[in-house]
């Protein structure tokens, strides 16, 4: 089979070599960063026992992120489904991918995956044969107990947050001895239609018939979280609305609930990734109620902000400035702006600067747009207290995906702080302390 990468040489190896020439691997700064134990503040990884025996291939590792770029390049729904089909012929999946590969080969998402596969499985080229070989090794990883600890140890990850469903059945599950803590996504408690009541009942393990029952279910949910030692809650509302929450009265919420349960004849549902006015009112009401309980139980509140995974979302949802009302209404709650608000980093910086209860988390940022992440870290040094930053989260589904992202994050940190040292703005010892805080001390004290 003709393969442009094989003929022309391994692009990823050239990229790796180029980076190696820029980074002084013998420098005290790089040696410190590369050997530092870190806290991984964001993944979506299943428990090890649920992954045991899973047939994992390279195409699975393109989800999330890379699949979005493939779709953006023109990949059809049918081709995307083919790549995710466990029973499909491997050659057909390869052909579906390689058709669009030339368009995305320089994207950081793809390069981060290549770096993961080179680092862990010695991937030699982008070719069907190499993808097949590495896929067999990926599947073998999931046949032996202890693989989570293996990957965490390889990447010097002391502990990890895994963002999961908010259901009591989910949060009661233990991830074992690997120091993986669950963060429940409480924005899943959402009233879209009458069918939502059954879903909320399942998550809260309470009978749900009306809005009062929903509030009782939320009370029960967070009380159980507190008993289980849950310290962090996630809101993913930024996938379907602007983050401009406001206070809603019980009367407003009840009226909206009634209209959602019995829509007016001829009413049309909202567009995908949007809420109707009544759904928005209830979303406001329930979010504020949950955050009030987070204040009571001294839980951190983590908001997805900025760019979203999966395509066809709305840019207007990416802004963080609309959240100021929440920050001022709940001054005793610590809020985290996930992804540091990318691409609107400056908005998030101002919020973290203005409000003592607002923190920035760089999950995902290091593989979206590297140069912007490098530059914004230098701005953090000039503008924000050191304790405001949590520097790494992989935001992946499988442990084998993390390595490349973490390598890029460490390199980005090196580039930012090497510039600061060379410009005379910081000493080596000062940079070591900040890097330690960002990658380890800050998240450990904050989330755990």
Tokens encoding 336: 């985290």
What is the per-residue pLDDT for 366?
Answer: 98
Q: 376-393, pLDDT tens digit by residue?
A: 999 999 999 999 999 999
CA angle (141, 145, 146) in 5-degree steps: 90
120-129, 201-210, 266-275, 319-328: which range is least confident on average? 266-275
Q: 100 lies in which domain range?
A: 55-141
Tell me, yes or no, whether 126 and 223 share the same domain: no
What is the per-residue pLDDT for 294?
Answer: 98
Within 13 A of 185's CA, how many CA atoms are on the CB side?
A: 14
- Please name which of 334, 442, 448 lies closest in space to residue 387, comparing C-alpha atoms: 442
Tell me, yes or no, whether 94 and 151 share the same domain: no
Helices vs. strands in the chain: H and E counts, helices first: 22, 8
Tell me, yes or no, whether 134 and 159 share the same domain: no
Dist CA 276 CA 70 (whole Å): 31
Distance of CA 6 to the CA centre of its chain: 33
Q: Which runs of consecutive H residues, i.e. helices, occur in 361-436?
A: 370-383, 402-422, 428-436
Tell me, yes or no, whether 91 and 218 share the same domain: no
Q: Is 50 exposed, middle or buried (0-12, 13-18, 19+ CB in 10 A)?
A: exposed
Q: 329-348, pLDDT tens digit by residue?
A: 999 999 999 999 999 999 99
pLDDT at 14 over 50: no
Tell me, yes or no, whether 277 and 421 share the same domain: yes
Residue 25 within a domain: no
Helix (H, G, I), strand (E, B) or coil at 270: coil
> In whole angstroms, how far apart are CA 251 and each of 156, 185, 216?
52, 26, 17
pTM of the model as a whole: 0.93
pLDDT class for 174, splitting at 50, 70, 90?
Answer: confident
Total domains in the fold of the chain: 2
Residue 235 within a domain: yes
pLDDT class for 173, splitting at 50, 70, 90?
Answer: confident
Q: Which residues contact 4 (CB under 8 A, 6 or more apart)?
A: 102
- Nearest 5°: phi and psi at 232? -140, 140
Cβ(210)–Cβ(196) below 8 Å:
no
Helix (H, G, I), strand (E, B) or coil at 424: coil
Tell me, yes or no, whether 85 and 181 share the same domain: no
Residue recorded with tokens 């050239």: 14
For the domain that residue 308 is a member of, what is the CATH number?
A: 3.20.20.140
């Amino acid at each position: 089979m003709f393969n442009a990468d094989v003929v022309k040489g391994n692009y990823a190896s050239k990229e790796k070599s180029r980076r190696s020439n820029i980074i002084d691997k013998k420098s005290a700064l790089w040696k410190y960063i590369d050997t530092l134990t870190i806290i991984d503040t964001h993944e979506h990884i299943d428990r090890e026992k649920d992954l045991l025996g899973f047939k994992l291939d390279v195409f699975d590792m393109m989800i999330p992120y890379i699949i979005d770029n493939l779709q953006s390049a023109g990949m059809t729904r049918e081709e995307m489904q083919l790549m995710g089909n466990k029973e499909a012929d491997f050659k057909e999946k390869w052909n579906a991918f390689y058709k669009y590969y030339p368009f995305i080969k320089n994207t950081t998402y793809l390069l981060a995956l290549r770096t993961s596969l080179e680092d862990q499985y010695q991937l030699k080229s982008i070719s069907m044969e190499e993808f097949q070989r590495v896929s067999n090794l990926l599947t073998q990883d999931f046949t032996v107990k202890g693989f989570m600890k293996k990957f965490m140890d390889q990447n010097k990850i002391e502990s990890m947050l895994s963002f999961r469903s908010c259901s009591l059945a989910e949060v009661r599950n233990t991830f074992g001895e690997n120091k993986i803590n669950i963060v429940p996504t409480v924005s899943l408690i959402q009233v879209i239609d009458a069918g939502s009541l059954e879903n909320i009942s399942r998550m809260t393990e309470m009978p749900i018939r009306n809005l009062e029952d929903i509030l009782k279910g939320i009370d029960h949910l967070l009380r159980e979280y507190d008993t289980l030692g849950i310290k962090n809650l996630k809101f993913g509302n930024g996938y379907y609305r602007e983050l401009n929450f406001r206070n809603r009265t019980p009367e407003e919420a009840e009226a909206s609930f009634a209209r959602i349960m019995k829509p007016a004849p001829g009413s049309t549902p909202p567009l995908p990734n949007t809420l109707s006015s009544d759904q928005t009112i209830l979303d406001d009401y329930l979010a504020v109620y949950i955050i009030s309980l987070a204040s009571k139980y001294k839980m951190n509140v983590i908001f997805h902000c900025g760019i979203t995974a999966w395509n066809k979302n709305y840019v207007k949802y990416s802004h963080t400035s609309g959240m100021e009302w929440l920050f001022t209404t709940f001054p005793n709650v610590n809020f985290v702006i996930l992804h540091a608000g990318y691409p609107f980093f400056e908005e998030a910086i101002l919020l973290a600067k203005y409000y003592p209860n607002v923190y920035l988390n760089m999950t995902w940022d290091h593989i979206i747009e590297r140069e912007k992440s490098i530059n914004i870290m230098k701005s953090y040094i000039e503008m924000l207290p050191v304790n405001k930053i949590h520097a790494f989260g992989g935001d992946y589904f499988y442990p084998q995906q993390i390595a490349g992202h973490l390598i890029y994050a460490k390199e980005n940190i090196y580039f930012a702080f090497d510039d600061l040292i060379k410009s005379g703005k910081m000493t080596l010892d000062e940079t070591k302390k900040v890097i330690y805080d960002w990658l380890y001390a800050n998240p450990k004290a904050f989330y755990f």
